[in-house]
Chains A and B, each alone.
Chain A
Amino acid sequence: MPINRNNATRFAAAETMNATVTEKKPRLTTSAMIASIAAEGQRVRAAPFGKALTEYAEAHPEIVGLTADLAKYTDLHVFAQAYPERFFQMGMAEQLLMGAAGGMAKVGLVPFATTYAVFGTRRAYDFIHQVIAEENLNVKICCALPGLTTRYGPSHQATEDLAMMRAIPGLTVVDPCDALDIEQAVPQIAAHQGPVYMRLLRGQVPLVLDEYDYKFELGRAKRLRDGNDVLVISSGFMTMRTLEVAKQLEADGVKVAVLHCPTIKPLDEATILAEARQPGRVVVVAENHSVIGGLGEAVASLLMHEGVMPSRFRMLALPDAFLDAGALPTLHDRYGISAEKMAASIKGWPK
């Protein structure tokens, strides 16, 4: 196990890390940079972002697509094949990608700019801030490999993208859960007047939310199931995982409510407060992001500001550390965001 980098300081922030040093599972090998987060046998849909954008673009000629050498890996190639004259390759140049997307928005187009989350946010931050957000331009930034969804190391792990994007005034930030969420989010972010940052799951994307009475609504959090013991507020694929955990814990007599919060900014404060005010529940925020600056801190800040004090508040998130490279099941287990580790953590937090 490659734990030579696992010094005490790096993992001090993670409560769920203790079990990792004793894990005895078979060592998984990495064969691809991009692994599907779909579990074996899980229902999936292929390229939901590319297909939804292509469908929306048919009646909306103002939609154009730009990428920084990652059309295939963000599913934008589906749009590019359908509308080659509306697709603009910017090369591996993320500052140009964001600057040019801003320029296209200034002449009345609605650009969808795609790349990986690390490059879109970390390499092009000032362009998103100054060119796009400061002028409230109608650019939709859609970035693959959010959080810990790659087998590569920190070069490709976007564990702080939500923190960076949340800090920009006027930028709407979306972290969808599955194929259905993405399909329904695309037309809504396209129709929204103003800049949007959306995290993308690409390729074979899990499909789970169709089993619930659920529709994506930009700016709204939705309760997917109710329970008296624990309230988990989650975004991204962590909602999918939380639903799995809730089913497991039900068998153990722990009743878990799940509030899916795909719009990270602006936060659906009313719904979150109404849920968090219900007495007697542990409040947990689960997210595929660093403990610094994501949904967890956004919710904590809201609750503190409004004087809502749950009996216990915890975050299930990635540690404030440079994470290891490796197979996703190994890493999700190591950092406490696998279903198994999440269930163990939640059981260890009595009311």
Chain B
Amino acid sequence: MLSHGHYAIAFYAALIEAGIIPESELETYGSDDSRLPMSGMASYTPGMEISGGSLGQGLPIAVGMALGLRHRGNRAFVYNSMSDGELDEGSTWEAAMAASHHGLGNLICIVDINNQQADGPSSKVLGFEPLADKWAAFGWHVQRIDGNHLPAVVRAFDTARQLPDAKPRVILCDTLMGKGIPFLETRDKNHFIRVDPTEWQMALDVLDANQPQ
């Protein structure tokens, strides 16, 4: 589930890969009457688990889903994806305490630490380090990885799923926006990256050239 609703566009790509929505529908993204609004909404999009966007709501919902699934004897995992900005919200930590108190081994939380939020770098807006220590102190199993390195991400998910302990698991992902496209990596981002129409082809060319064969 997507706590940070504004990551919806990436989630739509995943929904296409999963065969839940057709690729052609991406053309409607953000348009009037589209099923693909700019901020993800469960009531609009098949496969979108929650209406995120009011930040800090995902983890409390995930706690309820994990408790409910366990109560019903369902062995599924609940995955909550959230942004580092959501670490500012008290509700995130209410939920972090509860997940550990209730021993939710079926809950995996992914935090995207891109150090970007509306008013500037997250670390300047409201410092959250030492983050791994904080989650560990709240009773979570913690992994901190390079979130742009896909093999590391996959390994972290495997580890999180295979832990025997009845404790919730968090994967802290340090990431860089625009990774792999040098002129975007270094651009002054201010939370949103502005990409001019002429730059899209340049970005695609760079990615294609660097794609592993």
Contact = CB atoms under 8 A, between A and B. Distances in A.
Contact of B68 (A91, A95, A104, A127): A104
B60 A96 contact: yes
Interface string B79-111: 000000000001100110110011000000000
Contact of B98 (A96, A131, A134): A96
Given A91-B101, A99-B91, A130-B51, A106 B72 contact: no
A107 B65 contact: yes
A126 interface: yes
Given A99-B60, A134-B43, A108 B97 contact: no
A93 B97 contact: yes
Nearest to A99: B60
A291 to B, nearest CB: 30
Main secondary structure of the interface of B (DSSP, over half): helix
Interface in A66-116: 85-86, 88, 90-91, 93, 95-96, 98-109, 111
A90 B61 contact: no
B63 A96 contact: yes
Interface string B163-187: 0000000000000000000000000
Q: Which of B50, B59, B64, B67 has the most CB of A within 10 A?
A: B64
Contact of A104 (B43, B50, B56, B64): B64
B38 interface: no
Which of under 10, 10 to 19, 20 to 34, or 35 or more describes the interface residues of A? 20 to 34
Contacts of B102: 88
Main secondary structure of the interface of A (DSSP, over half): helix
Contact of A131 (B61, B72, B74): B61
Interface string B38-54: 00011100000111011
Contact of A96 (B65, B69, B72, B95): B95
A16 B64 CA distance: 46
Contacts of B64: 99-107, 111
Contact of A100 (B51, B56, B61): B61
A127 B95 CA distance: 13
B122 interface: no
B57 interface: yes
B54 A103 contact: no
Contacts of B62: 103
A70 B110 CA distance: 32
Contacts of B54: 126, 130
A64 interface: yes
Given A95-B60, A95-B91, A127-B60, A100 B71 contact: no
Interface of B: 41-43, 49-51, 53-54, 56-57, 59-69, 71-72, 74, 90-91, 94-95, 97-98, 101-102
15 contacts: A93-B91, A95-B56, A101-B64, A103-B62, A103-B64, A104-B65, A106-B49, A106-B65, A107-B65, A107-B68, A108-B72, A127-B60, A131-B60, A134-B41, A135-B50
Listed from nearest, the 10 A-B pairs whose CB atoms lie closest are A103-B64, A99-B60, A100-B64, A93-B94, A95-B91, A107-B68, A103-B65, A96-B94, A104-B68, A103-B61
